[in-house]
Amino acid sequence: MTSSTPPSAKRVMGLPVRGMYCAGCIQHVQHAVCTLPGIESAEVFLSSEKAVVRYVPPQVDMRTMRRAVEAAGYSIPLHVID
C-alpha cells in the first residue's frame, strides 16, 4: 500500500482488547480495525490481548477504533483515552 501521508504524521498505539480467546478472534479484531479509513496496519496479539495499530490521526480517532472493536464483539477498557 502506498501512502501520501508523511511518516511523521502517522502514530502507533497499543490498544488493549478484551474478549479474545482464539485465532478467529484475532482475525475479527484485525479486520474490524483495518477496514477503517486512516488505518495503515494493525497487528493483534492474543497472548498480550493487544492490538498494535499504525494510523493517521486526522483520519481516524480512538472513539472510531473503539466502536469498530465493539461492533466486532470485543471491548477496549474504558480507561483507554478517547
Tens of pLDDT, residue by residue over 16-32, are 999 999 999 999 999 99
pLDDT band at 79 (very low <50, low <70, confident <90, very high): confident
Q: How far is CA 58 from the centre of its chain?
A: 15
In a domain, 47, yes or no: yes
pTM of the complete model = 0.84
- Residue 2 counted as domain residue: no
Domain that holds residue 39: 8-71
Q: Does 22 reside within a domain?
A: yes
Question: Does residue 3 lie within any of the structural domains?
Answer: no
Take residue 65 and report the three cell numbers written for it. 477504533
Q: Which residues have a Cβ under 8 Å from the Cβ of 15 and sit 6 or more positions away?
A: 50, 51, 52, 53, 65, 69, 76, 80
Q: What is the pLDDT of residue 3?
A: 56
CATH of residue 13's domain is 3.30.70.100
**Number of compact structural domains in the chain:** 1
Query: pLDDT category, 39, cuts 50, 70, 90?
Result: very high
pLDDT value of position 1: 46
